[in-house]
């Protein structure tokens, strides 16, 4: 066998090996292609265990300093009364303070004369972990100088929110698996395993007791306890799951 013939045989063998190797690499992984994509949503309904009440004092006077001093005195009395209810200082936080001027009628006939007055706003947020005390706090604040209840917001403490998020995720996964089983059964196949799981965000809404806020000023003025109902809160979570079939 001469040298040219040997080289030809070797070249043919190498070409054959490359062709066979390329065929194996290109073969699709059929198991990865056989999947079911599903999503699930879980919801847990609970009672809020935290309430945030925004209490405000508004004063106005032609003298800016007097308006500021009157506001400070009234808000100090409000904060003192709240502490007297056993509310710790860390649960009472200033959320806003402002002063501005405006022009108003001085009460003369036809509003012929105008006067400039200064308006001072001071707001504090009171955080309670006992939602049943919301009405008591509102009534006490109003009786001792507050003239604004800007909002009453019911929500969840961090600890309860995390626990209920876990419960909602369990419910979401159960729903997703149930849907996957139903689809697999209809197709005549079986769920073989999990390829991928994606956890979506959870949502915990804040409930506002707006109607109670508007009634609170009159209720306190007449000595009637302000009724505040916490209601319920829904915590939701979502998951997306890809199953092998």
Task: State the Cα–Cα distance between residues 79 and 141, nearest whole angstrom.
Answer: 8
Q: What is the model's pLDDT at position 183?
A: 95
Q: What is the model's pLDDT at position 207?
A: 74
CATH of domain 50-155: 3.30.70.2970
* Residue 49, token pair as written in the block: 């265990």
DSSP, res 226: P
Task: State the Cα–Cα distance between residues 178 and 155, nearest whole angstrom.
Answer: 31
Instruction: Write phi, then psi, for 190 (nearest 5 degrees).
Output: -120, 150
The residue extents of the domains of the chain are 32-46+160-203+239-244, 50-155
Q: What is the model's pLDDT at position 16?
A: 40
What b/e sequence results for 197-214 when a residue is b if at least 16 CB atoms lie within 10 Å of its CB, and e otherwise? eeeeebebeebebeebbe
Q: What is the model's pLDDT at position 219?
A: 52
* pTM (two decimals): 0.72
Q: What is the model's pLDDT at position 51?
A: 96
Task: State the Cα–Cα distance between residues 168 and 238, nearest whole angstrom.
Answer: 8
In this structure, what is the dihedral angle of CA atoms 62, 97, 212, 236, given to the nearest 10 degrees? 160
Give, for all 245 residues of the chain, the pLDDT tens digit: 554 444 344 344 433 433 333 322 223 345 457 999 999 999 999 999 999 999 999 999 999 999 999 999 999 999 999 999 999 999 999 999 999 999 877 666 665 677 899 999 999 999 999 999 999 999 999 999 999 999 999 999 999 999 999 999 999 999 999 999 999 999 999 999 999 999 987 777 777 775 545 444 555 555 567 888 888 999 999 999 999 99
Q: What is the model's pLDDT at position 108?
A: 63
Q: What is the model's pLDDT at position 22?
A: 30
Q: What is the model's pLDDT at position 218?
A: 53
Q: What is the model's pLDDT at position 168?
A: 96
35: exposed, middle or buried (C-beta count within 10 Å: 0-12, 13-18, 19+)? Answer: middle
Provide the 10 A C-beta neighbour count for residue 156: 21
Task: State the Cα–Cα distance between residues 168 and 222, nearest whole angstrom.
Answer: 44
**Strand, coil or helix: what is 184?**
helix
Question: Which strands sit side by side in the sheet containing 114-128, from one edge to the other?
Answer: 92-105, 114-128, 50-61, 148-155, 207-208
Q: Which of 152, 155, 156 is nearest to 126 (CA)?
A: 152
């Amino acid at each position: 066998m001469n040298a040219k013939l040997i080289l030809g045989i070797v070249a043919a063998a190498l070409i054959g090996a490359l062709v066979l190797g390329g065929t194996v690499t290109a073969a699709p992984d059929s198991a990865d292609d056989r999947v079911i994509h599903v999503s699930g949503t879980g919801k847990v309904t609970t009672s809020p265990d935290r309430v945030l009440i925004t209490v405000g004092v508004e004063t106005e006077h032609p003298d800016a300093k007097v308006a500021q001093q009157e506001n400070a005195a009234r808000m100090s009395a409000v904060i003192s009364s709240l502490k007297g209810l056993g509310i710790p200082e860390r649960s009472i936080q200033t959320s806003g303070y402002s002063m501005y001027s405006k022009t108003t009628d001085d009460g003369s006939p036809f509003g012929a004369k105008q006067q400039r007055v200064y308006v001072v706003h001071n707001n504090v947020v009171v955080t309670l972990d006992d939602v049943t005390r919301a009405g008591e706090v509102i009534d006490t604040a109003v009786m001792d100088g507050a003239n604004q209840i800007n909002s009453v917001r019911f929500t969840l403490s961090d600890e309860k929110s995390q626990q209920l998020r876990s419960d909602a995720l369990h419910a979401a996964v159960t729903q997703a698996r149930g849907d996957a089983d139903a689809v697999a059964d209809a197709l005549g196949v079986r769920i073989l395993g999990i390829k991928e799981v994606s956890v979506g965000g959870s949502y915990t809404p804040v409930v506002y007791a707006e109607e109670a806020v508007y009634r609170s000023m009159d209720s306190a003025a007449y000595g009637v306890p302000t009724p505040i109902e916490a209601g319920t809160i829904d915590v939701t979570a979502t998951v997306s799951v890809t199953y092998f079939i």
